[in-house]
Structure 1
Amino acid sequence: MSSDDTPTPTAPTRPEGFQRVQAALQACQHPHAPVWLEATARTSQEAAEALGVSLGQIAKSVVFRRKSDEAAVLVIASGDRRVDEKKLAAHTGPLGRADADYVKSRTGFSIGGVSPLGFAPQEGLGGPLLFVDRELFRFEVIWAAAGHPNGVFPMSPAQLEVLTRAPVIDVVQEAKP
């Protein structure tokens, strides 16, 4: 309360996944805090429109299920590219689809808000195996999900590589002219 007994406005409490990403970014001393968008950005296109950036600048998170051991495989790829499962499988072994429950249990995030850091996997399971696609390096600034469909944060591709400690590989389909 202020001195005249009027309530002081407080910042709204953000969802737990967003808070986890915010804490992870602070712990890594990342220079940019996550941004809360007024509109949800569940797809790369929605995020690009909300931010006023090109589709390729959206660092989308695509989760697969490795068949040999059920491990989660997370690829952070440019929003304007499709992950080539055969290229990825050369690094991981055979892959299967990951449904919404699997993604949530292995990352702690719902589809549309999967961040490249700040995971909360189930007890006894490790976090996902991470890869960064090299196509993101076409841009100076990229935007990734921050643990919720309304949350995003900016970084350079090099910062993404450092934050995730993930190898940079070529795992997308060739761009169509």
Structure 2
Amino acid sequence: MAEATTADGAAGLPAAARRVAAALEAAGHPAVIRIFPDSTRSAAEAAAAVGCRTEEIVKSLIFRRSNDDAAVLVLIGGADRVDTAKLARVVGAKTGRADADFVRRTTGYAIGGVPPLGHATPPVVVMDEGLMALSTAWAAAGTPHAVFETTPADLARITGAVVAAVAATPAA
């Protein structure tokens, strides 16, 4: 496992992870980026690599806002799904799931490694309030093999996220 604590110490990381390290440093977040040999592309894979529960993985999901085509980044727990009606109320318009080209163009990252910060075009950021119940969370760091540890409060701070209830209610 490779690690870096700052953008300067990230020389051995892939370029995308170095960009995340620089964004974390600029935000004043002392996170260590960890690179795993196995994929961390899905929440289940990331949890297995890190050795935590799926709920402690932060999914970074990109949506397209219908009224202005803006990128909307939803940060949500690894076991949760987004309720698009709730999301629409928070962002003021309907949203649709973004395709891989839109994700790459607006974030600068490929699906499976989209981090919560350091995007090519700053997105509207919404963080599900359910994450606030966690003491620690793990988020993608630019590649399908890279993650960093944070707290939900720090994640909200460094991303400028609106914290709101956007997770779908589990079926009974």
Q: CA deviation at 1:97?
A: 2.1
Task: Say what the alpha-carbon RMSD is for the aligned residues.
Answer: 1.4
1:155 aligns with 2:154: no
2:166 is paired with a residue of what secondary structure? Answer: coil
Residue of structure 1 in register with 2:5 after alignment: none
Distance (whole Å) between structure 2 residues aligned to residue 107 and residue 120 of structure 1: 5
1:75 is paired with a residue of what secondary structure? Answer: strand
For residues 65-107 of structure 1, the C-alpha deviation after alignment (integer angstroms, 9 at most, x for no partner) is 1111111111000001100001001122011220001000011
Q: CA deviation at 1:128?
A: 1.0
Q: CA deviation at 1:28?
A: 2.1
Q: CA deviation at 1:16?
A: 1.9
2:139 is paired with a residue of what secondary structure? Answer: strand
Q: CA deviation at 1:139?
A: 1.1
Distance (whole Å) between structure 2 residues aligned to residue 175 and residue 56 of structure 1: 14
Distance (whole Å) between structure 2 residues aligned to residue 26 and residue 12 of structure 1: 14
For residues 91-142 of structure 1, the C-alpha deviation after alignment (integer angstroms, 9 at most, x for no partner) is 2201122000100001111000010111123xxxxx2110111111121000
Percent of pairs with identical residues:
43
Distance (whole Å) between structure 2 residues aligned to residue 116 and residue 14 of structure 1: 18
Residue of structure 2 in register with 1:3 after alignment: none
CA gap of 1:166–1:12, structure 2 versus 1, over 3 A, is closer
Distance (whole Å) between structure 2 residues aligned to residue 52 and residue 24 of structure 1: 25
Give the TM-score of the pair, scaled to structure 1: 0.87
Equivalent residue runs for 1:30-49 within 5 Å: 30-49=29-48
Consecutive unaligned residues of structure 1, counting only runs of 5 or more, are 1-10, 122-126
- Count residues in correspondence: 162
Residue of structure 1 in register with 2:15 after alignment: 16
Kindly provide the amino acid, as one letter, of the partner of residue 132 in structure 1: M
Kindly provide the amino acid, as one letter, of the partner of residue 96 in structure 1: G
The correspondence for 1:129, drawn from 117, 124, 140, is 124
Q: Does the aligned pair in 2 maintain the 1:83–1:173 contact within 8 Å?
A: yes
Residue of structure 2 in register with 1:116 after alignment: 116
2:130 is paired with a residue of what secondary structure? Answer: helix
Q: Does the aligned pair in 2 maintain the 1:25–1:33 contact within 8 Å?
A: no
Kindly provide the amino acid, as one letter, of the partner of residue 170 in structure 2: A
Structure with higher Rg: it is 1
Q: CA deviation at 1:176?
A: 4.0
